[in-house]
Chains A and B, each alone.
Chain A
């Protein structure tokens, strides 16, 4: 075993190249606001612009196949890229693109050659930003109950229905959407996915008022929306994976969303609370010297380290082609539950300073306050903690005759 990434001379040379490029190309004013809902349109445009330039170099989706506009780089290269961009408190891509990440991978597995040529370069080069639209009022955990309908009409499908808790601030170019193509059909055999251009007539988007939009993996969304489809005509060529074959596609999408991708990176909020406790005094002593606070900080540290290792393991498993079973939902479950424990620990340490974004009386430039709100809401996106447990059980092989297999990834 070797936990330490060993960097070859080639990687180190690549790192120097990346560092120089990032230094020259990351504009000022792109900083991650404490609450992603405060990301301005101008900041979003700066990030999109950075994304396009990263995309041109093949660094936006470094390991995605070159033939479809990805970087075609090795995992070794992508590790370096992710480490370096993380140093700027950014991620790849540097904006919310859940539909690009999950839809892109699903198209790679299930799309036709023509569809791959059409959609993947746009995603991998950062030309489009895509939302993922799964949830409906009556289809949350029970995704297979999706009722938004897509009816074939000539060369088009006509979509009607409603999606909730989806998307982000500042709009999208495409919507990666699951629909019902056979209302009479059997469960799991009546669904189909579409890449829907967001500017089609009949689509309307209304922002929702939530306690927090909870910043899913990657960049925070800022806002979640209700999207209505009112007789939206989508070309049939945008149907991905075949009519009524949508559940198959969903298993790929969900596998990634449930955390099987893994990631490499720091826990920003843990860094912040450690810094804060070392550099702020109470009664003349640094907070970090108080024995109760030390205890809380160590609890936080332990949770963060386990979470980091689960993510690291998943990253390694994915890229080494190891057989995954329950590891994705495990990492997701742990991240959600430990996130809430960490928030409680921070409240114990800071008291009311954790609850305000006041410049003088809050902590961590508003990031701590935003995290207090996000930690409770982050239990739900991408499947509730209960659903993660359900999937883990099936993968471990309990409660069913047949052990369930993980969804296919590219």
Chain B
């Protein structure tokens, strides 16, 4: 047993931390939150240039061929910002969906661009009946000559406004298959509208008779003679499952950051002539916070390890998402208690995390969804 990171992982961690500190200072993050647009942007081009977006893409497709744990280290550090997407959507969800669902030709065609950040992706799955189940996908791909016409409304789509391409879950006309179509975000018939408010980088995506060719269906799982959409849902479920621990790592990074902010503040803020960290009630907030953080960290890294060692990871994935979503949410709440007034101001930076924690609480399935899946995975 060895629960430490490898030397290379430590180096990666340090490099990403330096990168985030330099390219994504608080001022930049606040500006990005106001406009909601981390891509295209200057820091985003620099992030793409590092090659990190190809971290889990195999080298034969132009990626770095790293492990899930390597990617976990990357996303944990990005989560400290929190650096807004579309990195998880592109480098984790997008890359995994193409790896799981694409044909060999599609992988060769698409993945090098994904790895280089030339193509950024958002996964458009959820609709009005908001759940992460196959039965809730109602957008239709109707046969149209050689290709298809896609119609439907996707909603609460994370990172949609920052992506060049959308991977859309769609149902065939005969309603038999749910599969995946790659749709350029600027294709005629696509309209993307940001959802305003406390939501973090969520959008509505309208698909209004969007025309795509055969080659845009991610058809790697369809048997000869089957609809090219066949097997697509299975593939995206696997992609989402494997991306979840990476999203969790991002939540771990966010929790780590608000923990460090809170410890620092409790040492320096003076009330009643003493640092507030001397008050046991403040200590309680910080202890609750670190307990959330560590719960998220160790459930997440065990899930990543299971993926890397090709163990059955279903239970750990659902456990990690349940725990990390609650942990990041609560970590922010505890941090607000420690900071009181100053934490409410946007310029302080804590609310960047509070905002992220709410949206990520439910993205890729909320705690209740994953508790049910966990019960299934445990054979209950």
Beta-carbon contact of A372 and B358 below 8 Å = yes
Closest to A138 in B: B270
Given A355-B202, A356-B196, A362-B197, answer yes or no on A209-B346 (Cβ-Cβ < 8 Å). yes
> In the complex, which residues of chain B have a beta carbon less than 8 angstroms from the beta carbon of A355?
195, 197-200, 202, 358-359
A257 within 8 A of B: no
> In the complex, which residues of chain A have a beta carbon less than 8 angstroms from the beta carbon of B282?
386
> In the complex, which residues of chain A have a beta carbon less than 8 angstroms from the beta carbon of B204?
358, 360-361
Closest to B195 in A: A356
Looking at B155, B344, B345, the one whose CB has the most chain A CB atoms below 10 A away is B344
Of B155, B200, B333, B337, the residue contacting A384 (CB under 8 A) is B337
Beta-carbon contact of B202 and A380 below 8 Å = no
Beta-carbon contact of A352 and B359 below 8 Å = yes
Closest to B193 in A: A358
Beta-carbon contact of B358 and A347 below 8 Å = yes
How far in angstroms is the closest Cβ of chain B from A75?
A: 35
Beta-carbon contact of B199 and A352 below 8 Å = yes
Chain A proximity mask over B306-349: 1 for CB below 8 Å, otherwise 0? 00000000000000000000000100110011001100111100
Stretch at the interface among B71-79, B166-174, B214-222, B360-368: B360-368
Chain B proximity mask over A313-357: 1 for CB below 8 Å, otherwise 0? 000000000000000000000000000100010011001110111
Count CB-based A-B contacts (< 8 Å): 117
Beta-carbon contact of B341 and A165 below 8 Å = yes
Interface residues of B in 250-279 (CB under 8 A from A): 270-273, 279
**In the bound complex, what is the Cα–Cα distance between A384 and B355 (angstroms)?**
21
> In the complex, which residues of chain A have a beta carbon less than 8 angstroms from the beta carbon of B271?
140-142, 145
Beta-carbon contact of B281 and A348 below 8 Å = no
> In the complex, which residues of chain B have a beta carbon less than 8 angstroms from the beta carbon of A360?
204
**In the bound complex, what is the Cα–Cα distance between A145 and B204 (angstroms)?**
50
**In the bound complex, what is the Cα–Cα distance between A266 and B204 (angstroms)?**
34
**In the bound complex, what is the Cα–Cα distance between A369 and B197 (angstroms)?**
7
Beta-carbon contact of A361 and B195 below 8 Å = yes
Sort chain A's interface into a size bin.
35 or more
Looking at B200, B204, B361, the one whose CB has the most chain A CB atoms below 10 A away is B361
> In the complex, which residues of chain B have a beta carbon less than 8 angstroms from the beta carbon of A358?
195-197, 204
Closest to B336 in A: A376
Of A210, A352, A377, the residue contacting B156 (CB under 8 A) is A352
Chain A proximity mask over B174-213: 1 for CB below 8 Å, otherwise 0? 0000000000000000000001111110101000000000
Interface residues of B in 109-158 (CB under 8 A from A): 129-131, 135-136, 155-156
How far in angstroms is the closest Cβ of chain B from A293?
A: 9
> In the complex, which residues of chain B have a beta carbon less than 8 angstroms from the beta carbon of A373?
198
Beta-carbon contact of A282 and B130 below 8 Å = yes
> In the complex, which residues of chain B have a beta carbon less than 8 angstroms from the beta carbon of A209?
345-347
A292 within 8 A of B: yes
> In the complex, which residues of chain B have a beta carbon less than 8 angstroms from the beta carbon of A165?
341, 344
Given A283-B129, A351-B362, answer yes or no on A140-B197 (Cβ-Cβ < 8 Å). no
How far in angstroms is the closest Cβ of chain A from B46?
A: 28
**In the bound complex, what is the Cα–Cα distance between A358 and B194 (angstroms)?**
9
Beta-carbon contact of A380 and B344 below 8 Å = yes
Beta-carbon contact of B368 and A211 below 8 Å = no
Given A376-B354, A379-B336, answer yes or no on A211-B344 (Cβ-Cβ < 8 Å). yes
How far in angstroms is the closest Cβ of chain B from A167?
A: 14
Interface residues of A in 364-383 (CB under 8 A from B): 366, 369, 372-373, 376-377, 379-380
> In the complex, which residues of chain B have a beta carbon less than 8 angstroms from the beta carbon of A282?
129-131
**In the bound complex, what is the Cα–Cα distance between A209 and B342 (angstroms)?**
11
Of A135, A141, A372, A389, the residue contacting B198 (CB under 8 A) is A372
Beta-carbon contact of B361 and A347 below 8 Å = yes
Given contacts A165-B341, A355-B197, 19 further A-B contacts (CB under 8 A): A209-B347, A211-B351, A283-B136, A351-B156, A352-B156, A353-B156, A356-B195, A356-B199, A361-B155, A361-B195, A362-B197, A369-B197, A376-B332, A377-B344, A379-B340, A380-B336, A380-B344, A386-B279, A386-B281
Name B residues whose Cβ lies closer than 8 Å to a Cβ of A.
129-131, 135-136, 155-156, 195-200, 202, 204, 270-273, 279, 281-282, 329, 332-333, 336-337, 340-341, 344-347, 351, 354-355, 358-359, 361-363, 366-368
What are 12 A-B pairs at a CB distance below 8 A? A140-B271, A141-B271, A211-B355, A283-B129, A283-B135, A340-B333, A347-B361, A347-B362, A347-B366, A356-B197, A362-B195, A389-B281
